[in-house]
């Protein structure tokens, strides 16, 4: 019987990162993956959808420029897009596989092993592997890291066939841009695909949103700009509504919309995308036999990645923490460090950065205003419009803003930031670092930023909070705004300095 210090079940971003960290410590590790190394992070998730988004954004910009200067636009088919996606996936897949091939070639098999197959826990220290040829092997392990990821959530009584009615896993089954597309769900994934398809201009997009706005977990100033841009691109939003019924008839989709006021509408579209979240892949893992606890939502309960079974850890989408690739990788590495070094320092999620690939790009770190108010915090907030940033003016795209929240005291420690516009994801990194260091804003105010750059707007924000900005809020109230929020009530900071 083969024995390993660490068994990692699942070769997606979380499991891959965990296996590599175990290799750093020269621990014997086996990585078990039943399908493709890289998981949804490469094949049906982050990489593929973001490649589509980049292509859709580039296409929309080229069309806009072409028409402005008298051209007749460009042509781009669905197969063109999917070929680009396949190339991107192949490039990433090749890097991962070549890396694993090198490890297997240079590392003794008792220190690093990769198995293609399904894994099941027989006990806390025994794992059964069912290989591709259906043969089985039982291995003995000191520790297990569960990293089997998640899959799109299905809705009851919705005929998902991944061809006509699809989840994000089935988009690649389309053979052309559908003439019309219903998207059920107004969260990040639904809004990203609405942005993609509407940017290509070949598809009439409809979206069902349960609340009175899309992205209800974000502040209204963020979601309202995204919403306006969607509608300007031809997206029709059904707000305060839910999906009543859906069926496939004659190769198209008939559905009803049930509004909160009881009103019902009938509609027909060519294709439908169900985007209502994801569920963890826990089936056939054997976790029930060994007593691993789940929460009410069906995720594994964990204490800083460790489950209630002391030598078994759960990372990535299996737990109730933030379901992002970067978070999963962080958790996978942290679980290994807990095992090897017995570290007592817990993971911190306060400075986790997020990106939403929309129109425009949106990024965030730390708290937004909704969360700060819910937590009962008093805070100061500054917002700066992109029209004040020279680089945005040069790019001929000044739609967007920065918004920074700080504590309502003299230290003004950063609570969070939201960025909406060009280069938004690059602009939040310095703020993320300061949040992790529990620092105030003085460092940002005195840094010398490159010019012209979008991140100069971050510096102007913090200077405004300190009362020493180049632009004075009193002169441009619509573009630069400083406020204090006390018990949910705002007061102007202009005259309080």
- List, for residues 350-390, the tens digit of each pLDDT value: 888 999 999 999 999 999 999 999 999 999 999 999 999 99
pLDDT for residue 373: 96
Three-point CA angle 463, 422, 440, nearest 5°: 30
Residues in CB range of 229: below 8 A, 6 or more apart = 358, 359, 360, 399
Q: Rounded to the nearest 5°, which phi and psi values hold at 279?
A: -125, 145
Task: State what percent of residues in the chain have pLDDT above 90.
Answer: 79
Burial class (CB in 10 A: 0-12, 13-18, 19+), 239: middle
* pLDDT tens-digit series, residues 97-138: 999 999 999 999 889 999 999 999 999 999 999 998 899 999
Question: How far is Cα 88 from Cα 84, in angstroms, rounded to an integer?
Answer: 6
User: What is the torsion angle, in degrees rounded to the nearest 10, for the CA atoms of residue 121, residue 126, residue 130 and residue 134?
Assistant: -130
Condensed to tens digits (0 to 9), the pLDDT of residues 28-50 reads 999 999 998 998 888 887 899 99
Pick the closest to residue 168 from 142, 191, 147, 140 (CA basis): 191
Provide the pLDDT for residue 494: 62
**What's the confidence (pLDDT) of residue 44?**
81
**CB environment 251-270: b (16+ within 10 A), e (fewer):** eebebebbeeeeeeeeeebb
Residues 354, 357, 359, CA angle at the centre, nearest 5°?
A: 125
User: Which residues make Cβ contacts (< 8 Å) with residue 106, sequence separation at least 6?
Assistant: none
Spatial separation of the C-alpha atoms in residues 200 and 275, rounded to whole Å:
20
pLDDT band at 495 (very low <50, low <70, confident <90, very high): very low
* Residue 66 to residues 53, 63, 199, Cα–Cα distance (Å): 20, 5, 15
Q: How far apart are CA 479 and CA 301, in angstroms?
A: 45
Distance CA 208, CA 185 (A): 6
pLDDT in tens, 266-291: 999 999 999 999 999 999 999 999 99
Query: CA geometry: angle at 322 spanning 321 and 325, to 5°?
Result: 120
Q: Rounded to 5 degrees, what angle do the CA atoms 6, 91, 63 make?
A: 135
**pLDDT at site 70:** 64
* Residue 250 confidence (pLDDT): 95
* Strand pairing report for 271-274 and 180-184: parallel
488 pLDDT higher than 60: yes
If you average pLDDT over every residue of the chain, what do you get? 93
Domains and CATH numbers, the chain: 3-42+85-151+279-341 (3.50.50.60), 165-276 (3.50.50.60), 360-492 (3.30.390.30)
Q: How many residues does the chain have?
A: 497
- Cα angle for residues 418, 420, 422 (degrees, 5° grid): 130
Condensed to tens digits (0 to 9), the pLDDT of residues 312-347 reads 999 999 998 778 888 999 999 999 999 999 877 898
pTM tops 0.85: yes
The total of other beta-carbon atoms located within 10 Å of residue 291's CB is 10
Residue 492: its pLDDT value, please?
Answer: 85
* Rg, C-alpha atoms of the chain: 25
Cα 176 to Cα 73, 112, 270, 272: the distances in Å are: 19, 43, 11, 14
Maximum C-alpha span of the chain: 75
């Amino acid at each position: 019987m083969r024995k390993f210090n660490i068994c990692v079940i699942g070769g997606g971003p979380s499991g891959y990162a965990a296996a590599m960290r175990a290799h750093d410590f020269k621990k014997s590790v086996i990585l078990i993956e039943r399908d493709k190394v890289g998981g949804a992070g490469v094949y049906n998730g982050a990489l593929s959808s973001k490649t589509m988004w980049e292509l859709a954004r580039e296409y929309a910009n080229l069309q806009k420029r072409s028409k402005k200067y008298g051209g007749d636009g460009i042509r781009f088919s669905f197969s063109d897009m999917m070929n680009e996606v396949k190339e991107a996936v192949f490039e990433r897949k090749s890097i991962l596989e070549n890396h694993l091939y090198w490890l297997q070639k240079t590392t003794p098999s008792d220190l690093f092993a990769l198995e293609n197959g399904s894994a099941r826990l027989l006990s806390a220290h025994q794992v059964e592997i069912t290989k591709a040829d259906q043969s089985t092997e039982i291995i003995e392990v000191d520790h297990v890291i569960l990293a089997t990821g998640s899959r799109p959530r299905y809705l009851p009584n919705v005929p998902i066939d991944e061809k006509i009615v699809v989840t994000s896993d089935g988009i690649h089954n389309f053979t052309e841009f559908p003439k019309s597309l219903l998207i059920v769900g107004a969260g990040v994934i639904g809004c990203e695909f609405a942005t993609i398809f509407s940017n290509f201009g070949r598809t009439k997009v409809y979206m069902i949103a349960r609340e009175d706005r899309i992205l209800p977990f974000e502040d209204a100033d963020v979601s309202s700009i995204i919403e306006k841009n969607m509608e300007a691109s031809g997206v029709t939003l059904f707000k305060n509504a839910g999906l009543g019924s859906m069926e496939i008839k004659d190769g198209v989709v008939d559905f009803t919309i049930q509004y909160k006021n009881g009103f019902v509408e009938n509609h027909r579209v060519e294709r439908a995308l169900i985007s209502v979240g994801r569920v963890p892949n826990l089936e056939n893992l054997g976790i029930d036999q060994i007593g691993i606890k789940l929460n009410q939502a069906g995720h594994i309960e964990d204490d800083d990645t460790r489950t209630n079974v002391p030598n078994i850890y759960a990372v990535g989408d299996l737990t109730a923490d933030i379901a992002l690739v970067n978070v999963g990788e962080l958790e996978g590495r942290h679980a290994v460090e807990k095992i090897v070094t017995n570290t007592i320092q817990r993971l911190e999620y306060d400075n986790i950065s997020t990106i939403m690939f929309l129109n425009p790009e949106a990024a965030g770190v730390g708290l937004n205003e909704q969360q700060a108010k819910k937590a009962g915090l008093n805070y100061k907030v500054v917002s700066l419009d992109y029209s004040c940033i020279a680089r945005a003016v040069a790019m001929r795209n000044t739609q967007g803003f920065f918004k920074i929240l700080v504590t309502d005291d003299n230290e003004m420690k950063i609570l969070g930031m939201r960025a909406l516009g060009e280069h938004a994801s690059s602009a939040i990194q310095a703020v993320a670092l300061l949040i992790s260091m529990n620092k105030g804003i003085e460092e940002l105010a005195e840094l010398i930023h490159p010019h012209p750059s979008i991140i100069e707007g971050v510096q102007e924000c913090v200077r405004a909070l300190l009362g020493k900005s180049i632009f004075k809020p009193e002169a441009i109230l619509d573009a630069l705004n400083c406020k204090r929020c006390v018990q949910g009530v705002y007061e102007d900071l202009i005259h309080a300095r």
